[in-house]
Amino acid sequence: MLSPESVQNTLKSKRKGRNLRPCYPCRQRKVKCSDTRPCRRCVERRHEHLCSYEPPSKSCEPGGPGLTKRRRGQGDYGSPNRSQPGSPQHASTPPQAAPTYHAVEDAEPKLNSLTPATSVFLGEQSVPSFVEEQISQGVSPHDDGAAEIRQTALPMLGLQPSEQELFPQWQTSGEYAQSIQEALPDKTEILELFSRYLHVVYPLNPFLLDIGRFEIEIGRLLEAPSSRSLQNPQIYLLRSKPAWTALLFAVLASGLQCARVRTSDDKLKCRRHISTAFHCLHLAQASVKPSLDCIQALVVLVHVLQNELLTEAAWTLVGLVSRQAQSLGLHVEKTSLQQDGSNGVRQVQLWWIIMWQDSLLSLCFDRAPVTAVKCTDPFHTLVVGDKELGYQEAMCALTHVTLKISARRYAFDLTNSANTTYEDVMRDFNMVEQIKAKLRAEIRVHDSCRSIQDLVHYTCFRLHSSFVQGALLRPSLNTKNWRYLAPSQRQELATKCINSYKNSLDAYLNLLATSTSARRSWAMLHNGLASALILAITGQIKHDSSVASMLERLFATLRADSSPSEASTKELWDPHERGLWALQRMYERQTMEATSSIMPLADPVMGTISAGAGNGGVSTPSPAPGPVPSAAEPFDIDYFTFDPQSIGEISAFLPDNVTDGDLMVDDVFDSVLWGSG
């Protein structure tokens, strides 16, 4: 005898999938629709623009067509029950800096929603904000004219929520499910890739706001039975929001990148996951309807594109994500981070993550950052009181210093940033030292690490913080920069710069032994090789035996990872192969000179600083290759700048018609890493 459950299961398994709903004009005229967009009848009657129209949901509040239901909140535009000035509610709740206008929520519930309803941010000097402020202070807030202004202010700016899709869907639901089914890996591969992301990528790049919630959704996806019923994983994704599906494929692509050995097939799969993620973002209309899910997916894609060496695309996406985050008001400081509960804290953290990505690319490219705006400052927000910092918090605070370095050269008002003083440079340098001092003991001191993750966090933060300090002081290695500073000040800054790059290289070598991300992360590989290049270009190999030994470790590690048996496998990208090749040539030449020299090895930095008198406390350096400065101009030749004898090793990377005298550290560094090869 059949049980009711078996009957229901049989009916569900035999149920046909739903076709696309007929368009609104065909439903009104009660004629058959071709189920395309635009449909055949709408094309024949020449009103294609009406084919994708859908009337407002009946669940919306009354108040006239075109008005949407907004969540009540402080500063909501047009809130009918706004508290009156002087009322207890008004007095107990501090006002925000600017109102936030909330968009309508979906009429039908969607699965896997990680974020609340989308909101639109307007600055306090905008016309709607000014009107709202005047109304809230007025004697007659229920005046008909004021109510009309409330209803029309946002549409005047084009910020009203749309009642229909802005772009026609060129895929039916069946075609969308088919494309997802073709791109989605099997359950075993999904679990493996997510496990890689969770244990290798995420600890060093925590770009998801709620990794626990995302992990639960992955579990539900894997629990869906692989059968012909409607509950298979593909249909589960079809019922999910496209933005969450885009985030899933971005995470899978990131998991593919952190394999120890990447084959050409892995690279092809990764590019396919990236393409599918962008396709899902198109379906979610992420470019015109930003949400927290879409922004998270784009942030992960920025990281993935960097590791694919598509850094120009990553740079472009950071600009888009920054604008979207500002439109949602993520950068605006709340009166209290506890005011909105955990959601408010997460939104601030998402803005800091965007700043993290922007600061990295801006520092590497020496371009103007897009997130260097007045916002909730992570440094002065986190580095306060006695609270210790974790890895993510410390990296966000470090981002603030990095953006200051990148934005200083591109200030709009050049009169305020004409000359950077010695005090300004040391203030920024000491800010990084303050962040280091606020770290938890487990990631501040090497001997206090309690787990392998603590060790990786300690080493990775040391890599990034030392590289940022070196970048801050790098102008001291160029004879064209900071010539208005005293010679002793320039010498001190150059000393700290060289030591910072040595610490950065040492941290990268230690990270190579403990984490796969050191080889797969473009940011870490770039910072490690860049530190080694600058030390070699400035001639530190022949002056400091520790630099030579670190380069030996670097060559042994990176060359050992390359597999000559796999012709399709390439461990390093072309720019980094060029950098490693140039490093090896300079290492061989400088070590030969150091061995054949009868001169004892001097300290690479302090050897040029005299403890005696003369020349403002700076004595003539010890004999070294190259011209010796005259007594009248002791700093015309800076012994921390480009080593002229390195021209043979790097000549293949330099532009034509460039003389030795025109070369500086920055020129050689950029030519080696970014030159054509």
Return the closest-CA partner of residue 289 out of 162, 417, 115. Answer: 162
pLDDT digit string (tens) for 140-152? 545 555 555 555 6
23-26 contacts, C-beta under 8 A, 24 or more apart: 23/50, 23/51, 23/52, 23/53, 24/50, 24/51, 24/53, 24/54, 24/55, 25/50, 25/51, 25/53
Give pLDDT, residue 562: 53
Q: What average pLDDT does range 168-172 have in this prediction? A: 52
Answer yes or no: CATH 1.20.120 is held by domain 20-55: no
Whole-number Cα distances in Å, 634 to 208, 502, 664: 53, 26, 18
State yes or no: pLDDT of 326 exceeds 80: yes
Q: How many whole angstroms separate alpha carbon 539 and alpha carbon 195? A: 43
What pLDDT score was predicted for residue 99?
42
Structural contact between residues 566 and 261, judged by C-beta atoms closer than 8 angstroms: yes
CA nearest to 106, candidates 118, 94, 88: 118
d(CA 496, CA 499): 5
pLDDT-derived band at 15 (thresholds 50, 70, 90) equals low
- Top pLDDT among 613 and 202 is at 202
Nearest to 537 by CA among 648, 665, 624: 665
**CA separation, residue 74 to residues 90, 340, 348 (Å):** 10, 10, 18
Q: 301, 274 in Cβ contact below 8 A?
A: yes
pLDDT at 94: 39
pLDDT of 384 reads 76
Residue 415 or 138, more confident: 138
CA distance 515 to 531: 19
pLDDT at 153: 62
Contact between residue 281 and residue 297 where contact means Cβ atoms under 8 Å apart: yes
Nearest-angstrom CA–CA distance, 98 and 603: 56
Instruction: Evaluate whether 199 touches 259 at the Cβ level (below 8 Å).
Output: no
Predicted confidence (pLDDT) per residue in 230-242, tens digit: 445 555 665 678 8
Torsion of CA 596, 600, 604, 610, to 10 degrees: -140
Per-residue pLDDT tens digits for 269-323: 999 999 999 988 988 888 888 889 999 999 999 999 999 989 889 999 999 999 9
269 - beta bridge partners?
Answer: none
List the chain domain ranges. 20-55, 61-81+94-109+123-156, 184-309, 495-561+571-606+634-677
Neighbours of 522 (CB within 10 A): 22
Whole-number Å distance between alpha carbons of 272 and 421: 50
Across 73-77, 102-106, 257-261, 340-344, which has the greatest mean pLDDT? 257-261
Mean pLDDT of 195-212: 93
The backbone region for 614, taken as left when phi is positive above 0, alpha when psi lies in -120 to 50, beta otherwise, is: left
The predicted pLDDT at position 397 comes to 93
- Compute the mean pLDDT over every residue in the chain, rounded to the nearest whole number: 73
Which of 8-17, 80-89, 549-558, 655-664 has the largest mean confidence? Answer: 549-558
pTM of the entire predicted model? 0.70
Per mean pLDDT, which range of 246-250, 543-547, 614-618 is the poorest?
614-618
Q: What is the rounded end-to-end Cα distance, in angstroms, of the chain? A: 75
Give the pLDDT band (50/70/90) at residue 38.
Answer: confident
Highest mean pLDDT among 202-206, 409-413, 602-606, 651-655: 202-206
Q: Is 291 helix (H, G, I), strand (E, B) or coil?
A: coil
Answer whether residue 537 shows pLDDT above 50: yes
Q: How confident is the model at residue 350 (pLDDT cuts 50, 70, 90)?
A: very high
User: How does pLDDT run across 255-277, given as a tens digit for each residue?
Assistant: 999 887 778 888 899 999 999 99
Lowest mean pLDDT among 52-66, 71-85, 206-220, 553-567: 71-85
Segment 542-548 long-range contacts (CB within 8 Å, at least 24 positions apart)? 542/590, 542/591, 542/593, 542/594, 542/597, 543/594, 543/601, 543/602, 543/603, 543/604, 543/607, 544/502, 544/601, 544/603, 544/604, 545/601, 546/502, 547/502, 547/505, 547/604, 548/587, 548/590, 548/591, 548/594
pLDDT at 571: 64
Average confidence (pLDDT) over 88-103: 39
Rounded mean pLDDT of 386-397? 91
Q: Which amino acid is at 428?
A: D
* Most confident range, picked from 210-224, 394-408, 497-511: 497-511
Q: What are 242-251's pLDDT values in tens digits? A: 889 999 999 9
Least trusted range by pLDDT, from 362-376, 496-510, 550-564: 550-564
pLDDT at 398 over 50: yes
